Amino acid sequence: MFPTTWLQVAVILAAVIPGFVHQLSRRALTGPAPDEATVSVRVLRSIAISAVYATVYAFFLGPWAVDLSQKTPAEVAEQVRTIAFMTLATALVIPWAVAWVMFRVGTSSNAQKFRKRTLDRTEHILEHRVGGRLHGWVNLRSTYDPTPTAWDFAFVATAIGWVRVLTKDGQWIGGFYGPESHATTYPEPRQLFIQVGQEMKADGTFGSEVSAPGGLWVNCEDAVLVDFTPETGETRSEREEGTDASI
C-alpha cells in the first residue's frame, strides 16, 4: 500500500527515516556493529530510534502539525516551503547531527575521564559503604565488550610503531605502522596497509633497508602471527637511518 496523502507520507517519514539516517551517521563514524548483520535487526532498530525522534518532535511540533492537518489543501500549499524545510530538518539533518554529536561527545577525553571517575566512585561506595559481600556479588557481573573481533580490539589500542606478519608459508612481512597506515575492521577481511615496508630477515628481524617506501598491502586472512612493537626513541632513529640509506 502506497501513501496517498501528505499526512501519510509524513507519518512514514517520522516512523522510519529518522532512525535510518541516525544509523547511517553512526555507522559512518564507528563502522558496522556485529549485531547489525541482518536486515531485520537494522529495520527494528530504525523503527525504535524513529519512535524516540517522533516523541520529541510531537512534543515540540505537535500543535503546529495538528493545526496544519486541519487546513485545506490550498492553505497547505501556501506553506509548502515551510513543510519542505521542516521535513528535511526532522527526517535528515537533525538525526544525522544528533548521531554525530553523540559520537563526538561520547568518545571525547572528558567523557572518558568522567566515566572512569564515576565507575571509581561507585566502586568505592560499594566496597567501603555498602559492604564487601554485595561488592563481591556486583563484581561477578561482567561487562559486555561490543568489539566484534580480537583483530578489531588489537588495532584500537595499537600505537605508532612496527608491525610484522608471519604468513602460513613461514615468510615474514613487516614495516613501519604509522599515522598513514590502516587496518580493516569488521566485517571486512583482515587486511593491513603498512605505511613503509621494511626488509625482513628469515628469523623475523627487521633489516636495514626499506623495501616499499610507498606503502605495503598485506592480506592477513591466513596469517599465523601479527606482532606489534611500539616505536621508541631508538627505533625511531633506526627507522630514519634505514630510510636515508635506502634513498
Q: Residue 212 pLDDT more than 70?
A: yes
Taking the C-alpha atoms of residue 177 and residue 217, their distance in angstroms, rounded to an integer, is 11
Cell of 141: 557481573
Cell of 236: 625511531
Q: Residue 97 pLDDT more than 90?
A: yes
pLDDT in tens, 130-139: 555 555 555 5
Give the pLDDT confidence score for residue 176 in this predicted structure.
Answer: 92
127 pLDDT band (50/70/90 cuts)? low
Give the pLDDT confidence score for residue 131 in this predicted structure.
Answer: 53
pLDDT in tens, 4-61: 666 666 666 666 788 889 988 888 877 766 666 677 777 888 888 888 888 888 888 8
Q: Residue 100 pLDDT more than 50?
A: yes
